[in-house]
Structure 1
Amino acid sequence: MTRTALVVRGGWEGHHPVEATELFLPFLVESGFDVRVESSNEIYADAEFMAEVDLILQSVTMSEISKEAFAGLRAAVEAGAGFAGWHGGIADSYRNTSDYLQLVGGQFATHPGKEPSGRVGDETDNYLTYTVEVTDLGRTHEITAGLDDFTLETEQYWVLHDDLIDVLATTTHPVQPYHPWHRPIVSPAVWTRLWGEGRVFVCTPGHSVDVLQDDNVRTIVERGLLWAARA
């Protein structure tokens, strides 16, 4: 039986929403989904279509969403549609919509930068080498089972979150003399959330296409998409 996947992409172009989502369209098709791609989140307000959607893959950063579109998104998830994404495309989508933040369970706060003398004035100033650590839950969860801790050099997300998420992997922001915090901060890097009858999946690595092509990150995203989709 064919399932329906809706891919919504847009917002800030720095996260390459088109190129990034294109990486996963063949996987979705091969996994038995009929895929529809939209460049506007107003599709969420189409109740008749959204009732047929089994998986929503969103890559929309620093954007806005209308009351009608958000209501449609939330209703679809509560009714069983999966909601999934990576990096700012899901964790920094609609800063001004608090109910969206509640739906996702975590919100990008910052990505700490390099030591000031090593900064050159472009996006690489925020590229750090850091470890993604699989949690005890993650060791047994179908999204991350069999994966070991791994290292990336990219933006390291500091996430504000609540206790309703199930954290499959974390990353730790260390104390540095050029930063103002005084003890290490652990942030979720991969998490899931149950919302009504639906499932939410978030992977914070994914700033650029090359990060999404990392074997570990791509495996997590692909498994996360399948986990989130309506059974």
Structure 2
Amino acid sequence: MKQALIVWGGWSGHEPEQCAAVLGDMLREEGFTVFSENTTEAFADPSIHDLSLIVPLITMAKIEKEELTNLTAAVRGGVGLGGYHGGMGDAFRDQPEYQFMVGGQWVAHPGNIIDYTVDVTRPDDPVMEGIASFPYRSEQYYMHVDPSNEVLATTRFTGEHAEWIDGVVMPVVWKRRYGQGRVFYSSLGHVASEFQVPQMRTILQRGLVWAAR
């Protein structure tokens, strides 16, 4: 039986409770038994080493050393890690080891909510199968990213809101390894209503299934 843990909380602007409910339904559709917690203390539980998947949804939070140590050990041991936007990509700003595991860290979203394009760079990957490049309206994430990521989609900054990044191509969707664990990340999905965008939802749902042990 596949088991997934969603840990939600942090900044309320990302609607973590509502999004955790949507994620839970998505994973149940894929045959997971889903557990949901709203405290980082869940990461310290030894039982997470037996999970198939962990989904952090906890923007701008703090994590205790023992919690992070247990979480990273679980993923290195083979538990999948997957998530999206700030819930995973801006969870623990002061923890480089967490960012090393994720493969990136949010640093800016020039212009805030804007229209931009998501360019599919790996249409041959099962996560992106049948999805062409598409327009999107949300925060366009500028991130510090790990060059070892396997990038599946990117976006190009115009420079309209920060002229010095004009033309920069930034990863939007990637997957990677951390020890024996699979890690998936998508920067799409500021609030719960964005799950209504078919491409956003499909990419995330497939990516979480790929990441799961």
Instruction: Return closer, same or farther for 1:46/1:175 CA change in 2, 3 Å cut-off.
Output: same
Structure 1: distance between partners of 2:165 and 2:133: 25
Equivalent residue number for residue 158 of structure 1: 142
Equivalent residue number for residue 205 of structure 1: 188
Whether 1:26 aligns to 2:25 is yes
2:200 aligned residue (198, 217, 221)? 217
Structure 2: distance between partners of 1:102 and 1:141: 23
**1:60-139 alignment to 2 at 5 Å?**
60-113=58-111, 126-135=112-121, 138-139=122-123
Other structure's SS at 2:136 match:
strand
When the two structures are superposed, what TM-score results if normalisation uses the length of structure 2?
A: 0.97
Compute the displacement of 1:227 (Å): 0.3
Structure 2: distance between partners of 1:84 and 1:130: 24
Structure 2: distance between partners of 1:157 and 1:189: 8
Compute the displacement of 1:182 (Å): 5.6
Which blocks of at least 5 consecutive residues in structure 1 are unaligned?
A: 114-125
Output one character per residue of 1:6-62: Cα deviation in whole Å (capped at 9) or x when no partner: 010000000001111211212212322111111011111111x11211101111100
Kept in 2, the 8 Å contact 1:205–1:212? The answer is: no
1:181 aligned residue (164, 187, 192)? 164
Structure 2: distance between partners of 1:129 and 1:175: 13
Equivalences, count:
213
Kept in 1, the 8 Å contact 2:157–2:165? The answer is: no
1:146 aligned residue (130, 138, 156)? 130
Equivalent residue number for residue 10 of structure 1: 9
Kept in 1, the 8 Å contact 2:158–2:167? The answer is: yes
Aligned sequence identity (%): 40
Which blocks of at least 5 consecutive residues in structure 2 are unaligned?
A: none
Other structure's SS at 1:146 match:
coil
Kept in 2, the 8 Å contact 1:55–1:83? The answer is: yes
Output one character per residue of 1:151-185: Cα deviation in whole Å (capped at 9) or x when no partner: 11111000111211110000111123x52406411
- Which has the greater radius of gyration? 1
Task: State the 4+ residue runs in structure 1 displaced beyond 3 angstroms.
Answer: none
Q: Which amino acid is the alignment partner of residue 59 of structure 2?
A: T
